[in-house]
Structure 1
Amino acid sequence: MENKHVYRLQGLSCANCAAKFEKNVKAIHTVEDAQVNFGAAKLTVIGEASMEQLEKAGAFDGIRLIPEQAKIQIDPLPFWKKRANILAFISAFFVLLGYAASAWGGEKDPLVIGLFALSIVIGGYDLLRTGLANIWHFRFDMKTLMTIAIIGAAFIDEWKEGAVVVFLFAVSEALERYSMDRARRSIQQLIDFAPKKALIRRGKQEYEMDVDDLQVDDIIIVKPGQKIAADGVVIQGASSVNEATITGESMPVHKTIGDEVYAGTMNEEGALEIRVTKRVNDSMLAKMIHLVEEAQAERAPSQQFVDRFARYYTPMIMLVAFFVALIPPLLFSGSWETWIYRGLTVLVVGCPCALVISTPVAIVTAIGHAAHRGVLIKGGIHLEELGKLTAIAFDKTGTLTKGKPEVTDIHIFSNDRTEKELLQIAASIEKYSQHPIASAIVREAQKQGISLDEWSVVDFHSITGKGVSASVNKTAYYIGSPALFSEHPLSTEMVDAISSLQQEGKTVVGIGDQTELFGIIAVSDRARERAALTIKQLYREKIERIVMLTGDNRATATSIGGALGVNEVKAELLPEDKLRIIKEIRDEHGRIAMVGDGVNDAPALAAASVGVAMGAAGTDVALETADIVLMSDDLQQLPYVIRLSRKTLRIIKQNIMFALLLKLLALILIVPGWLTLWMAVFADMGATLIVLFNSLRLMRI
């Protein structure tokens, strides 16, 4: 989209500020649309707006913009150098002076009042400016509540209380910014993995250049200990490459000529020459960063609830505060000063800060943490759904098994054919198929030195769920499951051979023509090393139903399912059968995850509550089709991400319940006058900090 501009944001302090900044940008007449991603601290603008206009829209929060593709790197300011924190320290200094002076001259002394007033003006300058603007425009958020409370405290001569409120609120805001920065750091670390420069060879010359200027088919040279600058294919050399940035797997992977490598991964041993296959913006790392940022922007169901609740909550708190200040003096002869003070305390207690951040900080932390483990979660909604699962369906080939089957047996049933001829016919046809079993037959033919280009192959057709047909040298042949030849006359020898191989857990492929089955090829696909352990862990995670779905024959499927510990196997399925079964289980259990390779079974993945793809280091198809991608093809990441999801849900519920219960308790304590203004702010700050640090516990999973 030509009119789309993306900026990184510095200084964005809170979720309410993000919403206000987005609204301000949308109000610029040349802007068609805008979206602020609070989790990733990014702004996307559709339309035209100058940097000056955009920074003016965010001036209320001191927001600075950096174009996403800009090469400038602005290091974050230390905590003690940030303007808001400096003002908070100065405010605290005048509060302490005010307390010291009040010990000599009393709280009503003009010098004491002046010191507290100075503390309010310095520490609360940004707060009061924003709050007054909000009051003028009838916008109600936590800064509006705090502004009314501070002005009210000054109005009833509670200058000391007002100054302490300003200082504590500034501390709360600073700590909230610090915690959100920690949660966002997961994205920044992903960005930092990619090197900024690359050593390139063009012709006979070698020179260094910016990775942004790399072109497809450029040759880059990566020395031992250097990071790979772009996605590409090794054309010279061999080395071990640490792909933890992409897959989360710390064990190095051996790479040699013809192997794919990814930007941001570390070359550990030998020198490599790599032909660039993707521009820097299209690299696997760039896609991961984009997906993580998009995921953190997407509101989870619990966050949507909190956002809706907060819209009504703040005006309701203002109404309660108004009645607390008004009704006792009017109807019960209460002191105006006392009850106005208590009404102001209600406003402070009612600040929805802890409630507003209860969900986003947990979601941002969880998604960022998962990305570092090589698990891409495409949004908070999928993270929440995963935690509520009671049923999981697995595709067999490429998911529970390695997806690289090997030919183990060849049986001939025709005296006119040889093993080599049978394999040559099968491989000549199967080279047009993408199925893993077809690839195994082609690999076996190549291993035996059989040429696949001698014969003419035309009229290739796929027979859904059963096999393929094609004309080889003007003769029609069929290759597929034994069911494809069910109408052919099969001898006892054929039936026994097929049955025996299937009982061994092997997949049997028949080769024949319209009248005769010439022979069979047995193919075996070994189970993934940790598949059985993963199934056990899923049962321990209270997954009630685990189903294996496969188009393979029942005997083979039962053998593999039994070895892995899967207690329910559904075999000989067509794609539409898998879709039907997923819908049936979803209707029965409410939610189901489908785990597949992201290439086949797309309808089943789409129909499941959560589609989980084995990433094969992030194939484009897997990234596009699934809600969750296991980048390293490690099934053991599945129990991990379920635990992460469930802990995230627990933490979100704890955060919301704690924030609301603390507010309720504080409101009850206000009525008898047991809660002062500064204590109310302290309680609100405490609630915010507990919510933040509770969410950051997700980093320890």
Structure 2
Amino acid sequence: MKEYRLENLTCANCAMKFENNIKNLPDVMNANVNFGASKVSVIGTATIEEIEKAGAFDGIKVVPVKQRPQEKIPFFKRKENVLTAISFIFLAIGIIASYLYEEMHPVAVGLFVISIIIGGFNLFKGGLINLSRFYFDMKTLMTIAIIGAAIIGEWREGAVVVFLFAVSEVLEAYSMNKARQSISQLMDIAPPIATIRRGNQLVEVDTEFIQINDTLIVKPGQKIAMDGIVLKGTSAVNQASITGEAVPAMKTIGDEVFAGTLNEEGSLEVQVTKRVEDTTIAKIIHLVEEAQAEKAPSQKFVDKFAKYYTPAIIAIAFLVAIVPPLFGADWKTWIYQGLAVLVVGCPCALVVSTPVAIVTAIGNAAKQGVLIKGGIHLEEIGRLQAIAFDKTGTLTKGYPEVTLVESESTNDFIQKVMSIETYSQHPLARAIVKYGSREHIHTVEIEGFQSVTGKGAEGIIDGKKWSVGSVSWITSLSVVSNELIEKIELLQSEGNTVMLAAEEGVYKGFITVADSIRSTSGKVLQDLKNAGIKHTVMLTGDDARTAHAIAAKLGMTDVEAGLMPEQKLLAIKVLKEKYGAVAMVGDGVNDAPALAASTVGIAMGGAGTDAALETADVALMADDLEKLPYTIRLSRKALHIIKENIMFALGLKIIALLLIIPGWLTLWIAIFADMGATLLVVLNSLRLLKMHK
């Protein structure tokens, strides 16, 4: 399969026609045009020239997918825009001449004819070819209407319609390019050239020639060209292009960095870990483009509706032109009305009503660090009533931290405990060592270190034996007050693990360690409730007491603890029966069954995590829930806009068609109704570009 990028593809109907033309080529087995991403996939041996010829009816240009986009021609210099402006000049002079002389004066008619030819040459060329093949799209209907207007002597009306159609094409092209800008900006993120070390020399090479394990040199202020691991240096890296987070992340030796991110402060040497086509940004672009190609339920409905709508309009136009004159009405008047019906009935606005909203929403979400893998998922998110969360690493940080230290001499106490725990490999011990280091406390020498399985550890410090470990072990070695035991039990009920320490059998203090709640979790859950989520539930394999304590702090609706993966799956099924649409938020690996069973599976920390990118319906690229309320709001707004678009597209047409009854429908009102509906739909969809966290 070969993929190509397309230029000048601005019309949804043109995309369908282009796809059919490619499929009819002798050397093509199958083809798929992605209107949203402006790409085509071709299975076969057809050349670029042959594919381009299939799109010649609309001036579609075909370029290899790896070729960098060419510099864009300024809006006012585009050929079609210049021709539209010239057409308007002749139209304006023609209108003046028609008032100075009369509408059918040869000078006025001549000016209108020139205006029609200049503004509508491509329209007629495409329309006549379509007519010869009995293919009815906007160009065919417009060509019939304008030829009909000329036959009945409505030259001024014909010229006005051609000009307005040209304007609508220009504005639609501008609007679609604006809608697609999210993808084009993503494509421009990673630099095409990078500096690498080859032996003792620094050389600049195209990124497509960089190999895995090459050493990338990144200076301050430069963008990182490839995914890799930091070999040397420390710097703040702005990862907003990948994760949507504006706060730079500190990177040092051993940390992962992504192509397209900005190195802000220090120099870095990076070992390349992925080829250019496999980088995280390349995967994001690919997945976003695939998502925009996938048809949402509302789009499938619109496509099916449009299939029957166009023939129905042609039939109505024919009846309007023929039936009244058979009963004695004026032929010229009703043929004119029939032509107007043809123009107003074109399904352009209807066909574009859904895809333009989906293209805009998915592209905007990608810029904000949220990867939505299809229009169907975008719509489903908007219908969510309940969200289930994994606890560890989702609502909590996913690693233990010291939460409380209680002793007569805190720093001295931490120093002794930290010195013993330095020799232990237990995760709780590492949390204490990390805490001491952060507080700038240094270890002292330990003699006779010993790990006591299931209890803790002990060692000699300054000739005195220190023991650190579980509450039951230390209370068996020393005397502890009932008041302290009650306090410890309260801390344990809140989800803390408590470790006590004793010196020569005398109690000295305690440290509590817990998997801390993320600082943003509480606000996120409140924002979700504000966004209309009725039910939030924690599904965790952790201890029930800890789970209930965390859920209470966060104000969650429900908790189910001590669950195995298959029990999480069952819990999701129960929630779906009760609430209909349910999302599951997890890490994309451990929660795979529950993510798959939910209406929408949402994975945390998609950046650099292939499993999250592949398994989930939605990936939050930053390891943070903060983008979840934004995603819900974006989806609900997209659903609302799609409904509005369909109403605009059909509503304006119905109003215009009702004008037939008193005989008020004119060609220019018809084209205004069609152009107005299309522009309303596109501009309404572009409101989604303004959505942000």
Indicate if the aligned counterparts of 1:28 and 1:49 stay in contact, CA closer than 8 A: yes
1:312 equivalent in structure 2 = 308
What SS does the corresponding residue of 1:606 show, helix, strand or coil?
helix
Contact kept in structure 2, 1:225 and 1:267, CA below 8 Å: yes
Q: 1:499 and 1:609 mapped to 2: Cα distance?
A: 40
The correspondence of residues 664-679 of structure 1 with structure 2, limited to 5 A, is: 664-679=654-669
Tell me how far 1:296 sits from its aligned partner.
1.0
For the 8 Å contact 1:242–1:252, the answer to whether it is kept is: yes
Match of 2:334 in 1: 339
Partner of 1:545: 535
* 2:346 maps to amino acid: C
Structure 2: give runs of 5+ residues left out of the alignment.
Answer: 406-416, 446-481, 500-510
CA distance in 2, matches of 1:299, 1:523: 49
Counterparts of 2:268 and 2:548, CA distance in 1: 45
Q: Find 2:158's aligned residue among 145, 162, 170.
A: 162
Per-residue deviation, residues 446-472 of structure 1 (Å, max 9, x unmatched): 99999xxxxxxxxxxxxxxxxxxxxxx
Q: CA RMSD in A?
A: 3.1
Matched, 1:104 2:100: yes
List per-residue Cα deviations over 1:604-641 (Å, max 9, x = no partner): 00000000110253411110111111111221211111
Offset of 1:443 from its aligned partner? 9.0
Comparing 592-601 with 117-126, greater Cα deviation is found at 117-126
Give the match for residue 570 of structure 2.
580
Counterpart of 1:359 in structure 2: which amino acid? T
Could you tell me how far apart the structure 2 residues matched to 1:160 and 1:662 are?
24
Partner of 1:227: 223
Change (3 A) 1:140 1:44: same
Distance 1:228 1:22, change over 3 A: same
Please say if 1:397 is aligned against 2:392.
yes
Q: 2:364 aligns with which of 358, 369, 377?
A: 369
Q: What secondary structure is seen at the aligned counterpart in 1 of 2:644?
A: helix
Give the equivalent residue in structure 2 for 1:690: 680
* Alpha-carbon separation, structure 2, partners of 1:202 and 1:99: 70
1:530 aligned onto 2:520: yes
* Alpha-carbon distance change, 408 to 384 in structure 1, aligned in 2, over 3 angstroms: same
Aligned residues: 634
Letter in 1 for 2:272: V
Which residue of structure 2 lines up, in the alignment, with residue 50 of structure 1?
47
Equivalent residue number for residue 384 of structure 1: 379
Shift of 1:673: 1.9
Are 1:356 and 2:351 an aligned pair?
A: yes
- CA 1:289 to 1:677, structure 2 compared with 1: closer, same or farther past 3 Å? same
Q: 1 CA distance for matches of 2:444 and 2:57?
A: 73
> Are the aligned partners of 1:131 and 1:146 in contact in 2 as well (CA < 8 Å)?
yes
Amino acid in structure 1 at the alignment position of 2:616 = A
Residue 693 (structure 1) shift: 1.1
- The alpha-carbon distance between structure 1 residues 95 and 267, as it changes in their structure 2 partners (threshold 3 A), is same
User: What does residue 24 of structure 1 align with?
Assistant: 21
Question: What is the rounded CA distance, in whole Å, between the counterparts of 1:251 and 1:409 in structure 2?
Answer: 28
> Is the 2:15–2:33 Cα contact (8 Å) retained in structure 1?
yes
Q: How do 1:268-307 and structure 2 match up within 5 A?
A: 268-307=264-303
In 2, the alpha carbon distance for the partners of 1:34 and 1:245 equals 32
Q: Work out whether residues 537 and 557 of structure 2, in 8 Å CA contact, stay in contact via their aligned partners in 1.
A: yes
Indicate how the Cα distance of structure 1 residues 177 and 393 shifts in structure 2: closer, same or farther if over 3 A, else same: same
1:685 shift after superposition: 1.2
Q: SS at 1:32's partner residue?
A: strand
Offset of residue 542 of structure 1:
1.6
3-state SS in 1 of match to 2:4: strand
Match of 1:93?
A: 89
- Give the aligned partner of residue 114 of structure 1: 110
Residues 670 and 277 (structure 1), Cα distance of their counterparts in 2 relative to 1, 3 Å cut: same
Match of 1:632 in 2: 622
Q: SS of the residue aligned with 2:224?
A: coil
| Partner deviation per Cα, 1:310-344 (whole Å, 9 max, x = no partner) | 111111101111111111111x2101101000011
d(CA) in 1 for partners of 2:263, 2:274 = 18
The residue correspondences of 1:489-568 to structure 2 (distance < 5 A) are 502-506=492-496, 524-568=514-558
Q: Call closer, same or farther: CA 1:376–1:179 in 2, change over 3 Å.
A: same
Whether contact under 8 Å (1:616, 1:632) holds in the other structure is yes
Relative to 1, partners in 2 of residues 1:449 and 1:683: Cα closer, same or farther, differing over 3 Å?
farther
Match of 2:214 among 204, 215, 218: 218
- Give 3-state SS (helix, strand or coil) of 1:341's partner: helix
CA contact (8 A) 2:422 2:429 kept: no
Question: Compared with structure 1, are the counterparts of its residues 310 and 442 closer, same or farther at alpha carbon in structure 2 (3 Å cutoff)?
Answer: farther
Matches of residues 417-456 of structure 1 in structure 2 within 5 Å? none
The answer as to 2:182 corresponding to 1:179 is: no
Counterpart residue type for residue 372 of structure 1: K
Q: Cα 1:65–1:637, aligned 2, differ >3 Å: closer, same or farther?
A: same
The answer to whether structure 1 residue 653 and structure 2 residue 650 are counterparts is: no
Separation in 1, partners of 2:660, 2:231: 73
Q: What code does the residue aligned with 1:32 have? A: M
Q: How does 1:139-150 map to 2 (within 5 A)?
A: 139-150=135-146
CA distance in 1, matches of 2:556, 2:324: 68
> Counterpart of 1:403 in 2: which secondary structure?
strand
Q: Is the 8 A contact 1:249 1:374 kept in 2?
A: yes
Q: Quick one: distance in 2 between partners of 1:149 and 1:616?
A: 53
* Letter aligned with residue 349 of structure 1: V
SS in 2 for 1:49: coil
Shift of 1:105: 2.9
1:203 equivalent to 2:199? Answer yes
Deviations along 1:37-94, one digit per CA (max 9) or x if unpaired, are 11111111111111110111111111111101125x4112122222222222222122
Per-residue deviation at 1:307? 0.8
Distance 2:607 2:486 in 1: 41
Misfit runs of 4+, over 3 Å: 406-410, 422-428, 437-444, 446-450, 495-502, 506-509
For residues 678 and 313 of structure 1, the distance between their equivalents in structure 2, rounded to whole angstroms, comes to 22
Identity %: 60
- Which TM-score applies when normalising by structure 2? 0.86
When residues 60 and 440 of structure 1 are mapped into structure 2, their CA distance, relative to the original with a 3 A threshold, is farther
Corresponding residue for 2:414?
Answer: none
Partners of 1:582 and 1:608 within 8 A in 2: yes
**What is the SS of the residue equivalent to 1:212?**
helix
Alignment partners' CA distance in 1, 2:344 and 2:139: 12
Q: 2:321 aligns with which of 305, 319, 325?
A: 325
- How big is each residue's C-alpha offset from its partner over 1:119-142, in whole Å with a ceiling of 9 and x where there is no partner? 222211111121122222221222
When normalised by structure 1's length, the TM-score is: 0.85
Shift of 1:247: 0.6
Q: CA separation in 1, counterparts of 2:429 and 2:632?
A: 34
Residues 331-358 of structure 1: per-residue CA shift (max 9 Å, x gap): x210110100001111111111211111
Residues 656 and 669, structure 2, Cα contact 8 Å, conserved in 1: no
- Once structures 1 and 2 are overlaid, which stretch shifts more, 113-122 or 22-31? 113-122
2:63 aligned partner, one-letter code: I
Report deviation, 1:360: 1.0
Structure-2 residue corresponding to 1:483: none
The equivalent position to 1:590 in structure 2, one of 574, 577, 580, is 580
Equivalent pair of 1:426/1:441 in contact (CA under 8 Å): no
Q: Which amino acid aligns with 2:241?
A: T
Residue 71 of structure 2 aligns with an amino acid whose one-letter code is D
Shift of 1:164: 0.7
1:606 counterpart = 2:601: no
Does the residue aligned with 1:526 lie in a helix, a strand or coil? Answer: strand
The 1:449/1:600 distance shift into structure 2, 3 A limit, reads: farther
Residues of 2 paired with 1:448 and 1:134: CA distance?
A: 84
Query: Kindly tell me: are residues 322 and 439 of structure 1, through their superposed partners in 2, closer, same or farther at Cα, counting changes over 3 Å?
Result: farther
SS in 1 for 2:630: helix
Q: Secondary structure at the match of 1:670?
A: coil
Q: AA paired with 1:21?
A: F
195 and 337 in structure 1: CA distance in 2 versus 1, 3 angstrom threshold? same
- The AA in structure 2 aligned to 1:272 is L
Quote the offset at 1:498 in angstroms: 10
